[in-house]
Structure 1
Amino acid sequence: MIGVTLSALASGGLLAATTAPSTAAPTTPTTAATPATTWTVRDPAHSALTARLALDPAGELRLAVTRDGAPVLAPGRLGLRTDRHDLTTGLRLVDREDRTVHDTYRMTTGKELRRSATARETTFAFRGADGARLGVVVRVSDDGVAYRYVLDERGPVTVTGEASAFEVPKDAKAWVQPYATSYENERTETTAGAANEAEPQECAGDTCSFGYPALFETGGTYVLLTEADVDGRYSGSHLDHKDGGSAYSVALADDAPVTSPGPLATPWRTAIVGGLDTLVGSTLVDDLAPPSRVADTSWIRPGTDDWSWLSDTSSPGDLDRQRDFVDYAAAHGLEYTLVDAGWKASWVPELVRYARARGVDVILWFDWADLRTQAQRDAWFAKIKAWGVVGVKVDYMYSDSQSTFQWYDAILRDTAERHLMIDFHGATIPRGLQRTWPQVMSVEGVRGEENGQNPARDVFLAFTRNIVGSMDYTPTWFSRPNRQNSLAHELALPVVYESGWTSLGDNPEGFAAQPVAERYLEQLPTAWDETRLVSGGPGRTAGGERQAVLARRSGDRWFVGGILAGAGATMKAPLGFLGKGTWRLETIADHEGQLRRTVRTVTAKDTLAVPAVTDGGFTALACPVTKGRADCARPVTTAPATTLATDPASVTAEAGGKASFGATFTLPEGAALRDVRLTVDRGRLPAGWTVTGSDVRAASLPAGKELTGHWTVTVARDQPGGTVEVPVVATYAHPAGGNAPRVHVEEVVRVSVPLHGTLYASDQPFLAESNGYGPVERDQSNGEAGGQDGKPLTIGGTVYAKGLGVNAPGQVRIDLQGRCTRFEAHVGVDDETSGRGSVTFTVLGDDERPLATTGVLRGGEAAVSLTADVTGVHTLTLTADDGGDGKNYDHADWGLARLTCAD
């Protein structure tokens, strides 16, 4: 039966579930050719929300929504067009199927970790004029209405567009964002009919585009429009609005068709409906998403990171400055340090070792161009996982296209398999992906703190963008020059906004100047058991200001954040959310340009009143009053300083030979360590290497006592020359206990294998590298700005399987150990420049001594052979310089660059 087929497809969603499906009441199909032309679907309790689906005489579908009998959304068009069928008109009902959907699930992030959702769902089956079939699935819960289309055709299905539209009263208040793929435009308060007057705008004639989520208020009811359950089988969408009209129509990304392998279930067109408290607490977008595809989530850990880019833009390229941020995170119990654009592969492993020994994990920023292909992701993820990096921040996607969502699918699978957490920056908004892929810690999709400050924007976001999923706003930069809000406002932002990873924007010195804030941030979770709207809204109060006060619970403690936009006012927070008993309430507010903390005892019957300065705010922390509890703060337990020494630190071994070494782990002072293990990380050794020697363990390691181990490695017989780092690792239970991960202390023994035979330069580690555009590439051309995005090295039509791809001016340095006698390569400008570009090539020995050089070589010319005598050279430098006309198109290839070394 068509109803059964479509219903099963609808419940499956766009992403195949890997866990048990939602439970549902028995279905109740109707007979074919039902004469009714209007059908209703009510929320499970039949208490407030009703969706009315109507079919007019022309066979066109419209959906309306009422709340408590009052209209919220007027009848809006539904329908779908494919390359073969027009399913927007001439429709007739042939079947319907009803069920109650109940779902319980657990999140790793979000406003509520344990979820329970119940909805009433009806699948309507229609036939078009040409006999084609269309399913419309309408789901109503106590916090909103959603619908999607399903097509049970086999084989590929190409959707050319939707007739979907939400009809909003033209005089409804509106808080909308002109559409941009970055989602970084400002939001504007306007009306639904006049929204096109907002600037800047993405408009074509009298039609303008708006991004999700879009908020409207009519008759005291709020409606937040968005979409849910989007993946690479479809594209994202946005809303188009004709000037002065009431319809907000769904437009596919880039107005481009999408092709699904079929059968097809489209994303959910979603309206979160109710009072502001309902919207803030809504989990509807996640409820509509497919279940988690990650069975074991024990490696996923929300937390706070100190992030240097905002306050110290150049610091991600400075190892010593990054150590300062690691030290700050360690001292204040922050879980992570995020190293943004500018980091160097040459020192990141050292930084990771430094951080992990202090109980801090490292997150690395990536340009998505470096992770665009499967080969790029495989190479980078294997490398950074071996370094000990636990997660990535990926930037600059800026697209809602189907191909970009297919890339999201791929990187989400890859990070889940590698046990790497991920934050999407420069990204689209979340559409439920944190339920399906719980390693997603946050998503930008917002005009955040890095784009300047706007207190009104801050309030708007509490009732729009942050409702639909974690928001990477990068808040809390106290020392910002010309700051546009108060200290307390800045401190409140990471409470008001939910983000699985919260990236704090100030530097260690800026935080140290605000000790009251430091103490609060040390306590702040980033995932919550419960979230409540306490007071406020996006509109102006009678006093002319805007306010938002949210309370979030973690365990038995409530964290409260309040922000204000406008003139100073008293911010009021009814404390009914606290529940029974007496509570200790610690409040932080602005006082004479500083932060001041006050403490009082309250009950749920009380109302907190905080005088706020212009564009100010406050934070609070509440905990039950119990015997022996002095305050609400919990101790910050940090990893102690330890020492791990290897003996020797470096050793030489021939291919097939052996090298022995020892290691000693010591706690100089402090309480004894528990469950200590000293070992060699065998999983990170090259193929063919073996280790003998046992792990050393201690149930307890008191201060001053040494834990010592001895091992011997056997080098693989086919191991090429060079240096291999053998990781020696000591781990122990974190003194904080609970779910804190084990502390990882690591040093490396450098095993030097003498260079021998014929070697390719692209297989050797670089002592240093620089490049005029993007990274130096191994065994491929320079390509574009991303890593590993080049093509086969090709000069004058000849392809070289091995070599280096450089963009002049570019340079690499290689350690020859004084064991090689000859360097040779075929050099020239890669054919990918289409005959453009000009380069000179130079080979340098120790002390920058020239050994060989070329004249100016130009694009389209044949390769030139370049050879050099490198006898006795320890540091070989290969340099490509521009030919005097700038670096554009100067893609310099070192084809078959190889070395002849001692046997």
Structure 2
Amino acid sequence: MSLRNRIRALSIVLCGALASTMLLAVDARAEEAGWTVRDRPGGPTAELRLDRASGALGLSVSRAGETVLAPSPVGIVTERADFSTGLSFLGRSDRTVDEHYRTAAGKDRNRTVHMREARFRFRTGAGARLDVVVRASADGVAYRYDLPGDTGNVLQETSAFTLPEGSSAWLGAYRKDNENLFDAYTAAGAPAGEYMMQALFRTGNSYALVAESDLTGSYSGARLVHDAGSSTYRVKLWDPQVRTTGALTTPWRAVVTGDLATVTESTFTDDLAPASKVRDTSWIKPGRALWTWLAGGREAGQSLEMQKGYVDYAAARHWPYTVVDAGWYFDPAQWDVTDPDWQTHSWIPELVRYGRERGVGIQVWIHHRDLDTAEERAQWLPTLEKWGVKGVKIDFMDSEAQETFQWYDRILPETASHHLLVNFHGSTIPKGIQRTWPHVMSLEGVNGEEKKTNTARHLTTLPFTRNVIGSMDFTPGAFHRPNRPNAGSDASELGLSVLYESGIQNLAGTPESYDARPEARHFLEQLPDAWDSTRLLAGEPGTSAVLGRRSGNRWFIGGMYAGAAHTAEVPLRIGSGRWLVETLTDGPAGPVRTARTVRGGDTLSVDVVSDGGFAAVACRWSPGRTSCDR
């Protein structure tokens, strides 16, 4: 090629590159006011907008032609920079997130993640940098802040969620242990106050569950604050300042959205969380447990003989665990822990031996104050592992402060290294923790069975709120408790064991109450220890909830209704073909089992009593088959 031709070719390349650069600059200027992120057609779309006059960011979410989230403030304020205003756009980069992971517990054990992620880069007039990372999937939208420089401690977020006019809301007032009732409001009509970060809203045919994910000790827990007459719910952090050093990545602010089935079946908050930090998960075994606190209280916790009786009962039912609650150990301050034989004060090793011989593992309750220092954990955790204890139920953290999440960051790898399953009570709610730390079988964070304030409306709201975001230790099965709102419906109490998912399903009844209800006892004996998939069959928050959960080739169904007695109609969305369905409904002397043959997709008619429900199991029909028992 001649020199002239080479120069001409180079000029063409340079002109093309310059034209491309100018086109990108024009596009950036044109898009400066607004950018969209969507994973797939028909899925939710996030729109991030920058107000040119104020330099403030806002985020909205739409789905199927409906506004799910109206333009809502996005921003964060630190000691050295205000990222809520005065921002200018620097650029955008995109990537696809494709992951597959398996969990020990949850709605389903095999998860596939596909999300579109966009990183938007901004700076303040003073040059401080902020990245806003937005993700969209088929069932949700989430964003987080990434501060690449050292901008000092976080003072507040200006993040908020603004609902369209006329939206419905199901909210629970905030408590430090997340144990409060859910009730129904309009988004604008809810009383002024603070609400738990597990709020459900509805606009048209779309639902939106506000939550968070990937919360660690680098940050502070959040709640929602609502002003009277407003449709905006602001994010408030527990701590007045979040301590930071250097760069910071905040938790995800998530909106799980879709129709009600999509939201209920979603694993979005887990999908956002980091991958498992536990390499060997072979020892992690979910399962049913006989929980003896409501059955015997502190007296049971202080009695080896009573606990052996519970082990015998669990063994006969093929339940893999019993849980020994408060009372089994004295205050360690009264023990001389410098004595190498201090552990001999406990009869737990004898109970573990007794349970091992019968195929029943022992889990024990322990107070947070006895594990809140490195020295205490070094005393207790190796000892419990040496004794052969399978898990710990840690109670009374009662805080969502940054300091408390730093404690979670320490206790989680330590319990995993000692092969101890964990159930947190008096705690935060999951927030993706079960993906990252799969030995966490459950968390309380719910106004559960031991409370005396529950309502049928609350029971029918939990599957659409708290239990969406992770395992929930409600402790169903307390037939002997006269103050439960469904006390007139043993069948609905039985159904709660399916309706509510928990990696450790703590069954809270007395052996006597189970023996008095042989059909209920038989159903609980058949109940699997983990689920392969979950489907919403029917329901509306605060009114009714019917879920089907599959284990292998059998479906278990739990239903709960608030209101008058009626005949419920349940679509059997469990697969085509013929099924044998055994339903358990309320009879004059306890649950009654009825078998019938139906086709998948048919409607199952079930008679339910006032504030009642039902339980069922479905298996493939074959000639001569009369039971779904294995």
Q: TM-score with structure 2 length normalisation?
A: 0.91
| Alpha-carbon distance between aligned partners in 2 of 1:627 and 1:382, rounded to the nearest angstrom | 54
438-447 vs 236-245, which moves further: 236-245
**Kept after mapping to 2: 8 A contact 1:475/1:490:** yes
Distance (whole Å) between structure 1 residues aligned to residue 136 and residue 241 of structure 2: 29
| Partner secondary structure for residue 131 of structure 1 | coil
SS where residue 346 of structure 2 aligns? coil
Contact map agreement 1:32 1:95 (CA 8 A) in 2: no
Match 1:531 to one of 517, 534, 538: 534
| Residue correspondence of structure 1 range 700-719 to structure 2 within 5 A | none
Indicate the SS of the match to 1:321: helix
Q: Deviations over 1:756-807 (max 9, x none)?
A: xxxxxxxxxxxxxxxxxxxxxxxxxxxxxxxxxxxxxxxxxxxxxxxxxxxx
Count of residue pairs brought into register by the alignment: 588
Answer whether contact 2:428 2:445 (CA < 8 A) is retained. Answer: yes
Give deviations 1:816-869, integer Å, cap 9, x for gaps. Answer: xxxxxxxxxxxxxxxxxxxxxxxxxxxxxxxxxxxxxxxxxxxxxxxxxxxxxx
**Equivalence for 1:273:** 257
Which structure dedicates a bigger proportion of its chain to strand? 1
Q: How many angstroms apart in 2 are the aligned matches of 1:212 and 1:526?
A: 29
Contact kept? 1:30, 1:96, Cα under 8 Å: no
After the TM superposition, which of the residue ranges 587-596 and 256-265 deviates more from structure 2? 256-265
Matched, 1:302 2:303: no
How do 1:45-124 residues align onto structure 2 when only pairs under 5 Å count? 45-56=40-51, 57-124=53-120
In the alignment, what sits opposite 2:586? 590
Distance, in Å, in 1 between the alignment partners of 2:88 and 2:228 is: 33
Distance 2:92 2:431 in 1: 27
Pair 1:30–1:427, CA change in 2 (3 A): farther
The change in CA–CA distance for 1:32 and 1:252 in structure 2 (over 3 A counts) is: farther
SS of alignment partner, residue 606 of structure 2: strand
Equivalent of 1:153 in 130, 149, 154:
149
CA distance in 2, matches of 1:290, 1:323: 40
Could you tell me whether the CA contact under 8 Å between 1:170 and 1:244 is conserved in 2? no
Structure 2 equivalent of residue 466 of structure 1: 467
The structural deviation recorded for 1:261 is: 3.5
Distance 2:398 2:623 in 1: 53
Please say if residues 237 and 252 of structure 1, whose CA atoms lie closer than 8 Å, have aligned partners that are also in contact: yes
Shift of 1:216: 0.8
Q: Deviations over 1:404-430 (max 9, x none)?
A: 000001000101111111000110111
Structure 2 equivalent of residue 418 of structure 1: 418
Instruction: Name stretches of at least 5 consecutive residues in structure 1 with no aligned partner.
Output: 1-28, 197-206, 540-545, 635-903
User: Quick check: 1:498–1:526 contact (8 Å CA) kept in 2?
Assistant: no
1:198-277 equivalences in 2 (<5 Å): 208-254=193-239, 256-277=240-261
What's the Cα RMSD here? Answer: 1.7
Aligned residue number for residue 650 of structure 1: none
Task: Tell me, in whole angstroms, the C-alpha distance in 2 between the residues paired with 1:87 and 1:482.
Answer: 50
- Picking from 183, 187, 191, the partner of 2:182 is 187
Whichever residue aligns with residue 307 of structure 2, its letter is Q
Matches within 5 A, 1:23-34: 34=29
**In 2 relative to 1, CA 33–274 (structure 1 residues): closer, same or farther, beyond 3 Å?**
closer
Q: CA deviation at 1:87?
A: 0.9
Q: 2:308 aligns with which of 300, 304, 323?
A: 323
1:318-354 Cα distance to aligned partner (Å, 9 max, x none): 1111111111100000000000000134211111111
For residues 696-744 of structure 1, what are the alpha-carbon distances to aligned partners after superposition, in whole Å with 9 as ceiling and x for unaligned? xxxxxxxxxxxxxxxxxxxxxxxxxxxxxxxxxxxxxxxxxxxxxxxxx
Q: 1:83 and 1:227, CA in 2 relative to 1: closer, same or farther beyond 3 A?
A: same
Q: 1:615 aligns with which of 611, 614, 620?
A: 611
The amino acid that maps onto 2:251 is P
Letter in 2 for 1:50: T
Residue 562 (1) aligns with residue 546 (2): no
**Structure 1: how far apart are the matches of 2:439 and 2:475?**
19
* Cα deviation digits, residues 287-345 of structure 1 (max 9, x gap): 10000001110000000100111132131111111111111100000000000000134
Q: Secondary structure at the match of 1:448?
A: coil
Cα distance in 2 for residues equivalent to 1:484 and 1:576: 28
State the match for 2:14 in structure 1: none
**Residue 175 (structure 1) aligned with residue 170 (structure 2):** yes
Q: What residue in structure 1 maps to residue 546 of structure 2?
A: 549
- Indicate the SS of the match to 2:62: strand
Gap change, CA 1:332 and 1:31, over 3 Å in 2: farther
Deviation at 1:483, TM superposition (A): 4.4
Task: Give how far 1:221 is off.
Answer: 1.2
Corresponding letter in the other structure for 2:394: V
Task: Letter of the 1:234 partner, please give it.
Answer: Y
The AA in structure 2 aligned to 1:480 is R
How far did residue 593 of structure 1 move? 4.3
Q: Which runs of 5+ in 2 are unaligned?
A: 1-23, 330-344
Give SS of 1:450's match.
Answer: coil
CA contact (8 A) 1:41 1:139 kept: no
**Shift in alpha-carbon separation, 1:219–1:346, aligned structure 2, 3 A:** same
Q: State the SS of the aligned residue for 1:567.
A: coil
Specify the alignment match of 1:431 in structure 2: 431
Distance across 1 between alignment mates of 2:80 and 2:38: 35
Residue in structure 2 matching 1:343, options 291, 304, 328: 328
* 480-489 vs 410-419, greater mean Cα deviation: 480-489
2:3 corresponding residue in structure 1: none
Contact kept, 8 Å, 1:81 with 1:160, in 2: the verdict is yes
Task: Tell me the residue number matched to 2:481.
Answer: 480
Q: Does 1:138 align with 2:122?
A: no
Q: Which amino acid aligns with 1:508?
A: P
Q: Quote the residue 1:384 is aligned against.
A: 384
Partner of 1:791: none
Deviation at 1:35, TM superposition (A): 4.1
Q: Tell me the secondary structure at the aligned position of residue 34 of structure 2.
A: strand
Maintained 8 Å contact 1:125/1:133: yes
Q: Does 1:372 align with 2:355?
A: no
Measured in 2, the distance between the counterparts of 1:286 and 1:389 equals 28
Deviation at 1:170, TM superposition (A): 4.6
- TM-superposed CA distance for 1:157, in Å, is 4.0
Identity in percent: 49
Q: Give the partner amino acid of 2:125.
A: A
Which letter maps to 2:62? T
For residue 43 of structure 1, report the CA deviation from its aligned partner. Answer: 2.9
What does the per-residue CA deviation read over 1:102-135, in whole Å, with 9 as the maximum and x for residues that have no partner?
A: 1111111100100012111110000111111100
**TM-score, scaled to structure 1:** 0.64
